[in-house]
Amino acid sequence: MKKIVLASASPRRMALLEQVGLNFTVDASAWEDETIVGLEPHQLARQISLKKAQSVSARHPDAIIIAADTFGVIDGRILGKPHSEDEARAMLQTISGRRHAVITGFTVMDTRTGKTISNAVETAVDIKRLTEEEIEAYLKSGEPLDKAGAYAIQGLGAAIVERIEGDYFNVVGLPLCALSETLKEFGVNVL
């Protein structure tokens, strides 16, 4: 089987690929999330994942590259990873008591043939109405920093998620069902 490379240092994405039994190596993308303007969120997610895949492809001339990018969207605004506690607080206040979308764009690329497929998956997430005390306690845990939308559904953040519609693993950072179907097109079968 061809070597599989995950273009991400995300421990969550690594754990998800391990969960479905894929053997892979990690070569984290150095591509910086630059502002790409004029794209709707699904296009943006696909484009960022493509840039991440392309950024590591030259180092792996005969491999399957998997790259992804996850963010939240509410009121047309992108909720990426907060860079400060104040930014995380503002995100949590924004999503409190509301539904938002979590979109993961992913790209699978065969570096030998050049075949590339990029997709985006959306999951709706309802967050309970949070009190200021709950927001401050969650911030104190440190978990909201470096998490898209300022929460981790697979961690303490599970306590603030009332409901989801769609792929749970998409919210964690990699839509395993859609990814598995795409990998089949590259001769990689999870099942």
Using pLDDT thresholds of 50, 70 and 90, give the confidence band for residue 67. Answer: very high
Active site (catalytic) residues? 69
Is 106 part of any domain? yes
Is 123 part of any domain? yes
Count helices and strands in the chain by DSSP H and E runs: 6, 7
Mean pLDDT over 61-76 rounds to 96
Is 173 part of any domain? yes
Is 76 part of any domain? yes
Mean pLDDT over 157-172 rounds to 98
Number of domains in the chain: 1
Mean pLDDT over 6-25 rounds to 95
List all residues 6 or more positions away from 74 whose beta carbon is below 8 Å from its beta carbon.
94, 95, 98, 100, 101
Asked whether the predicted pLDDT for residue 32 surpasses 80, the reply is: no
How does pLDDT run across 168-187, given as a tens digit for each residue? Answer: 999 999 999 999 999 999 99
Is 190 part of any domain? no
- As a whole-number percent, the residues of the chain with pLDDT over 90 amount to 91
Asked whether the predicted pLDDT for residue 34 surpasses 70, the reply is: no
Q: Mean of the per-residue pLDDT values for the chain?
A: 95
* CATH number of the domain bearing residue 177: 3.90.950.10
Asked whether the predicted pLDDT for residue 72 surpasses 70, the reply is: yes
- As a whole-number percent, the residues of the chain with pLDDT over 70 amount to 97
Backbone φ, ψ for residue 12 (5° rounding)? -70, -45
pTM of the prediction? 0.94
Asked whether the predicted pLDDT for residue 35 surpasses 70, the reply is: no
Is 191 part of any domain? no
Using pLDDT thresholds of 50, 70 and 90, give the confidence band for residue 87. Answer: very high
Is 47 part of any domain? yes
Helix intervals (H) in the chain: 11-19, 41-57, 85-95, 132-141, 168-172, 176-184
Provide the residue range defining the domain that includes 117: 3-184
Is 140 part of any domain? yes
The least confident of 25-34, 76-85, 99-108, 111-120 is 25-34
pLDDT of residue 7: 97
